[in-house]
Amino acid sequence: MTYKLNLLIKAFGPVDGIKFYIHLLFKKYGSFTSSRYNTTFHLRSKTTDKYTFKQVFLDDQYNVDLPFTPERIIDAGANIGLAAVYFSHRYPNSKIVAVEPSRDNFQALLKNIAGHPNIKANCMGLWNRDVYLLITNPDGPSSSFMLTETSPDNPEAIPAESVETIMRGENWDTIDLLKIDIEGSEKEVFEANYEFWLPKTKVIYLELHDQMKKGCSKSVFAAISKYNFSFSFSDENLVFINEDLV
């Protein structure tokens, strides 16, 4: 029995695990249904979907033991919705806001979250204020789109909101879990207008992208250091826990 098959069985159970293994081994892409996750997964060819699937479900990168059960979750950089589905399964009583700027990724996301009414999907970016953004590398990998500000009349413009705007729109006074994997835009998110939402956020899962945009780490740690967060690692993610709230 191969290592990957063992991981699939652990993630999805013996029946679906073996079925997924055969599917991925021979077909590599397409659609397959998980009874455990109440989802039909749709993985596209010529994308990074298969790698993202491995990160979320086989590497189990969001398997972090928290001292409470999150109920209010933002998934920023939701890609095709795999992390949102994972969180929905792990925290079934949660409400999840999934944010993804790529229109192609967003269409795949809608398919993947179809069985999860607690996930609200928004085709938009995350920024430090409400603006319009443009994907600067549209021909790049599907999990590595980078963004910059643009004018609203640009035909390729994508709306973006701040964390504060999302909170106010959902009528949340706190965020239990904020997952951020936004390919360098964390620099802008943490460099301004974080004073409202950051001290009200209990846990942050964050992937840094200094290799894509200089100054990401500096921006994040400068903001985080103003509040009482502890810090650890989980796979590729930094995990910040707000000791004043947890």
- The model's pLDDT over 133-192, given as tens digits with 9 standing for 90+, comes to 999 999 888 888 999 999 999 999 999 999 999 999 999 999 999 999 999 999 999 999
Q: Which of 105, 125, 129, 138 is nearest to 190 (CA)?
A: 129
Distance CA 176, CA 209 (A): 23
Asked if 182 and 126 touch (Cβ cutoff 8 Å), the reply is yes
* Structural domain spans, the chain: 61-242
Asked if 45 and 83 touch (Cβ cutoff 8 Å), the reply is no
Handedness of CA 221, 79, 185, 127 (dihedral sign): negative
Asked if 104 and 47 touch (Cβ cutoff 8 Å), the reply is no
- DSSP run (H or E) holding 167: helix 163-170
Instruction: Please name the residues in contact with 199: beta carbons below 8 A apart, sequence gap of 6 or more.
Output: 227, 242, 244
Q: How many residues does the chain have?
A: 246
Question: Could you tell me the fold of the domain covering 61-242?
Answer: Rossmann fold (3.40.50)
What is the percentage of the chain residues whose pLDDT exceeds 70?
A: 98
Distance CA 70, CA 174 (A): 11
pLDDT tens readout for residues 59-118 = 999 999 999 999 999 999 999 999 999 999 999 999 999 999 999 999 999 999 999 999
